Amino acid sequence: MQAALRLILVAVPLACAAPRASAQEFQPPARGGESAAGGSGFQVDLFSFSTRAGIDVSRPAQWVVGSTLDIAELWSPRVRLRPSFEVSSNGSTVQLHWAGEVTYRFQSDDAPAIPYVGIGIGHMSRCSGCTTVWPTVAMGFELRFRPSFNWLIEYHALDRLGRHRILVGLATRNAAGGP
């Protein structure tokens, strides 16, 4: 009898508390500009990938082929860390350029046009045995081409603004799974 009374004394309060202790309904995070971290903070993911080609209009003129990856959001979904890689040549020498840049995108990924500006540090390999490290500046914009691709037009300044590259290419639009 005492065991049944104890069971009732435990079961009745638990049954009364059950409706209040029910789970909350899951609300997925909003897409289009807000990160999974709540819109601020640091998030690592592949947000965008781009390939581009163009010319280095400095003397002597060179062709340029390159690529970038937006791999992290810093402080905001509009501030991104992007490593880049470029190969250039004037026909007789080949130069490799690696850079790490922080870019600020003036619009969210769902905008039809996304202007951006960035600064960073680059490393140029001019020939075997001679290398240079210098600041880089990137300015450009992306224009909607398809739901998952953008046209990309960019001005890339290297060597303390002594080298000027104009690039055109394609970039993915929010490869992290957005709209």
Most confident of 1-5, 29-33, 130-134, 137-141: 137-141
Q: Could you tell me the pTM of the whole model?
A: 0.69
Domain 42-172 of CATH type 3.40.50.970: no
pLDDT in tens, 73-95: 888 888 999 999 998 888 777 88
Residue 169 pLDDT > 80: yes
Non-local CB neighbours of 105 within 8 Å, separated by 6+ positions: 78, 79, 80, 114, 115, 116
pLDDT digit string (tens) for 39-76?
A: 567 888 888 889 999 998 887 778 899 999 989 888 88
Question: Which whole-number Å values give the CA distances from 117 to 23, 24, 174, in the listed order?
Answer: 44, 42, 18
